[in-house]
Structure 1
Amino acid sequence: METEGSTYETKYSFRDVAERSAEESAIDDWLPVGPSRRTGKWWYSAVHNITVIVGAGVLGLPYAMAEMGWGPGITFLVISWLVTLYSLWQMVQMHEIAPGKRFDRYHELGQHAFGEKLGLWIVVPQQLIVVVGVDIVYMITGGQCLKKFHHLVCDGCKHIKLTYFIMIFASVNFLLSQLHNFNSIVRVSLAAAVMSVSYSTIAWGASGRRGVQPDVRYGYKSKTTAGRVFDFFSALGSIIFAYGGHNVVMEIQATMPSTPRKPSKEPMWRGAFVAYVVVALCYFPVAVAGYLVFGNEVDENILITLHRPRWLVATANMFVVVHLIGGYQAYAMPVFDMMESLLVMKLKFTATWRLRFVTRNIYVALTMLVAISFPFFGGVLGFIGGFALAPTTYFLPCIIWLCIHKPGRFTISWLINWVCIILGVLLMVIAPIGGLRQIIIQAKTYKFYS
């Protein structure tokens, strides 16, 4: 006689095991995301989420504060933390929302909510813009930090173009991109997570050690009303960018085992919540200390503003480089999965290491080329943050939640989700405007490949 638990187990695994042919199993084993590698621990979730959330965005928070001012800056930081924590919780809960199925990819959840074709077209373009955009920003930031490190340890050395430092950063990613899946990069993510906490601590600690500068000013950076408005929009995008880990949450949770007694959402949420506590301990001190000490003279990257103590700032820049390498790989994994799934399952390429070698190296090369061509850290941060991260992080999970759960009108759940949706749509509309303006202004005086 079959018990309720065994029935659940059978239903839950029928797609993962019973209905897969030998060919499908081989493809699932080869793809980066799939049902064959559910061996993740709760701390895998923690380190992966810290790696993808606490990234280059934290370095731009003092600059965002300078563009917004004390009140709006602190308010929006807190609101963003709460809203994105809530939408992250929703995504974790919805991973196994359908009996007998796990949504291992963000677009699979979208397809369940909106339909096979519409869900694909709603989620995939936005997710790709985010993960590819973040990887480009990481290329830019990695190159900038390597250049800053070189300047600090070898002040009298010959000037080297930023282009070459971006290429050096990319060279490491060419190698690491061959690692198979999230479980393969867990050690890389662990190192990256430790580095992110370390350089965030150095950023606010070194700022505090410098003390408030004698000529510090907290007025708006721009002198004109129009400039202040556009700067405010750009700052919104920069803060949104800092909370961008949702785009790989489903893929991270796909590595978690699940049983009737302990579904994957339990270890996943435990790790994700720990990660968000770490996010708060990194973001708020960096944003407040950086703006308090340097005011509106702070640079787009707080580590560029810091010059002393020289050895500590140099160390922090190398910590950033290590973290960005891990973050690049984590954000690239969904792209690798999409490319390889398309090539093998739709275009019928043979699943070999040669195919993986070629496709992944092409991806790294393309992101490197774009980063070399347009190394505008602040503008790219604001534009991508508003245009793509606002939908996938702030309000798309809420829309999916409403479609699947259908809470009653004017209930607490209905009201909270609609508030998040309205906020996210507004941010998506206004935030990219400031970032695009900043890119245009910087491009006027920029010399390509300098």
Structure 2
Amino acid sequence: MGTQAPSNYDDSKIDTRTEEEKAIDAWLPITSSRNAKWWYSAFHNVTAMVGAGVLSLPYAMSELGWGPGVTVMVVSWIITLYTLWQMVEMHEMVPGKRFDRYHELGQHAFGEKLGLWIVVPQQLIVEVGVDIVYMVTGGKSLQKVHDLVCKQEDGCANIKLSYFIMIFASVHFVLSHLPNFNSISGVSLAAAVMSLSYSTIAWGASVKKGVQPNVDYGYKAHSTAGTVFDFLSGLGEVAFAYAGHNVVLEIQATIPSTPEKPSKVPMWRGVVVAYIVVALCYFPVAFIGYWMFGNAVEDNILISLNKPTWLIVMANMFVVVHVIGSYQIYAMPVFDMIETVLVKKLRFRPTWYLRFVTRNIYVAFTMFVGITFPFFGGLLGFFGGFAFAPTTYFLPCIMWLAIYKPRRWSLSWLANWICIIFGVLLMVLAPIGGLRSIIVQAKTYKFYN
């Protein structure tokens, strides 16, 4: 289901779909276009990975401390690169078949029904959760630009965050009607360039500002319980930053494939480039931001930086452009799931107005939730641990063990179990800190303020 046989395969043996099924697959967002190049993989993965999470990394470092913070950052980079390689390899492990969607791979590993129940809820939590957080991020960045350019002492009105989130959402009521991954490649490329730009500005402006007077690298919480909860929340924020796995198979599905030139070759090339960019963005921002501000750093590093004004305005606008692209990258698999259910299960006709209605409802939903619960740092910690850890850190390893069955105590077996243990600990511990952070902020929060 949802696969297209490469051009030189014997269709009579491989492709058993009816003409109606072929027409539906040609309409669905993930399988409608397969002409992407390797560099599409690079910038789609950068856009998916380097999002709002990078701006919270100095704050995560302040919650973790130097030793644990550097360790968790580096180990996460290595583990997630390894699990991403596994997913790229598993995309075409069955000759003549492509696992175009995360849940299709899950169904192959765990069975038709169980695979759906294991993968789909987690993937939806991640993708919808990211889009909600990006609504908040986009709105906050627009508000920051407004506040820097138009100050209240100059007679400018104080505009609610809710309105800025609505302004940000208005862009998606238009962009969400682009039909598939390849059609958003221009938006994604712009977003990838922006991510490198604002990350560079974030650490560059931090260096320019210098180490702050009386900088403190100790934990800011005054109680042991507070320190522990903050530490757990920091784990979730790091997990949130490494979230690209939830769309990697869908990105690979857009690359053409033949037995001589399987899609994993250009896909992996793009992934390696993307991960180099990820390292160039993440490590300087996290380490330099924490070094300069210590535990006084804000949960969004750009909020800690107010001068030079023009540079911070530009960085925040770069963030807005980037999260516009990131929102679309994470929304596309959700659109694919919704449209697959409506057309294949509920037998709706695949029409433009079906797409128009469903996608507008989705954008409106993420906008409403973002306006209602704009707890940026807490949301990162909660979603990061609860859903990102399984789909990013250890679900690919479990599928690898289930499918390939490596020999016990072999290097592959050990590596996968290490990733699984690390990921399970993240999944269990991180949401606790994130949830507490949301509760603490909610005590003083006024809805729709």
- Determine if the TM-score, normalized by the shorter chain, exceeds 0.5: yes
- TM-superposed CA distance for 1:77, in Å, is 0.2
Q: Deviations over 1:52-108 (max 9, x none)?
A: 000000000000000111111011000000000000000000000112210000000
Aligned pair 1:58/2:69, yes or no?
no
Q: Secondary structure at the match of 1:209?
A: helix
Aligned to 1:293: 292
Hey, what does 2:19 align to over in structure 1?
Answer: 22
- Structure-2 residue corresponding to 1:204: 203
Deviations 1:205-250 (A, max 9, x none): 0000000011211110111100000000000000000000000000
- AA at the equivalent of 1:81: W
Distance 1:179 1:366 in 2: 19
Matched residue, 2:168: 169
| Secondary structure of the corresponding residue to residue 407 of structure 1 | coil
Identify if the C-alpha distance between structure 1 residues 110 and 12 changes in structure 2 by more than 3 Å, giving closer, same or farther. farther
1:108 equivalenced with 2:108 (yes/no): no
Matches of 1:374 and 1:68 in 2, distance apart?
25
Instruction: Name the structure 2 match of 1:259.
Output: 258
The Cα shift of 1:22 comes to: 2.2
- Tell me the CA shift for residue 10 of structure 1: 2.2
Contact 1:386 1:429 in 2 (8 A): yes
Question: Against the structure 1 CA distance between its residues 211 and 190, is the aligned structure 2 distance closer, same or farther, given a 3 Å change threshold?
Answer: same
Which amino acid in 1 is paired with 2:184?
A: I
Q: Secondary structure at 2:448's aligned position in 1?
A: coil
Match of 2:36 in 1: 40
Aligned-pair identity (%): 72
Structure 1 residues 223, 13: closer, same or farther in 2, change over 3 A?
Answer: farther
- Letter of the 2:116 counterpart: L
| Residue identity in the other structure for 1:128 | L
- What is the deviation of 1:26? 1.6
User: C-alpha distance in 1, partners of 2:40/2:21?
Assistant: 27
Q: Does 1:69 align with 2:65?
A: yes
Q: Which residue of 2 is the match for residue 3 of structure 1?
A: none
Q: How does 1:5-404 map to 2 (within 5 A)?
A: 9-10=8-9, 15=14, 18-34=15-31, 36-156=32-152, 157-404=156-403
- The amino acid that maps onto 1:302 is I
Q: Provide the residue aligned with 1:433 in structure 2.
A: 432
CA apart distance, 1:23: 1.4
Q: Match for 2:445: what amino acid?
A: Y
Q: CA deviation at 1:21?
A: 2.2
Structure 1 CA distance, aligned partners of 2:39 and 2:414?
Answer: 33
**Structure 2 residue matching 1:102: 3-state secondary structure:** coil
- Please give the alpha-carbon distance, in whole angstroms, between the structure 2 residues aligned to 1:13 and 1:435: 52
Taking a change above 3 Å as real, the CA distance of residues 13 and 142 of structure 1, as seen in their structure-2 partners, is farther
User: What secondary structure sits across from 1:185 in the alignment?
Assistant: helix
CA contact (8 A) 1:14 1:100 kept: no
- Tell me how far 1:29 sits from its aligned partner: 1.5
Shift of 1:30: 1.2
Unaligned runs of 5+ in 2: none
* Residues 6, 257 of structure 2: 8 Å contact kept: no
Does structure 1 conserve the Cα–Cα contact (< 8 Å) formed by 2:6 and 2:96?
A: no
Q: SS at 2:182's partner residue?
A: coil
Residue 125 of structure 1 aligns with an amino acid whose one-letter code is: P
2:83 alignment partner AA:
S
Q: Which letter maps to 2:149?
A: V
The separation in 2 between residues aligned to 1:14 and 1:266, in whole angstroms, is 25
CA distance in 1, matches of 2:111, 2:49: 29
CA distance in 2, matches of 1:236, 1:126: 18
CA distance in 1 between partners of 2:314 and 2:61 (Å): 25
Indicate if the aligned counterparts of 1:386 and 1:432 stay in contact, CA closer than 8 A. yes
- Report the Cα distance in structure 2 between the residues aligned to 1:197 and 1:12, rounded to whole angstroms: 43
Q: What secondary structure does 2:215 align onto?
A: coil
Partners of 2:106 and 2:115 within 8 A in 1: yes
- Runs of at least 5 residues in structure 1 that lack an aligned partner in the other structure: 1-5
Q: Distance in 1 between matches of 2:308 and 2:95?
A: 57
| Pairwise CA distance, 1:7 | 11
TM score, norm. by length of structure 1: 0.97
CA RMSD of aligned residues (A): 1.3
Structure 1's 369 and 8: CA in aligned 2 closer, same or farther, altered over 3 A? closer
Report deviation, 1:13: 8.7
| Residues 1:13 and 1:438: Cα distance change in structure 2 (over 3 Å) | farther
Alignment size in residue pairs: 442
The whole-number CA distance in structure 2 between the counterparts of 1:10 and 1:85 is 31
Contact 1:68 1:232 in 2 (8 A): yes
Q: 1:29 to 1:227 in 2, by over 3 A?
A: same
Q: State the secondary structure of the residue aligned to 1:213.
A: coil
Measure, in 2, the Cα distance between the counterparts of 1:44 and 1:288.
29
Report deviation, 1:19. 2.4
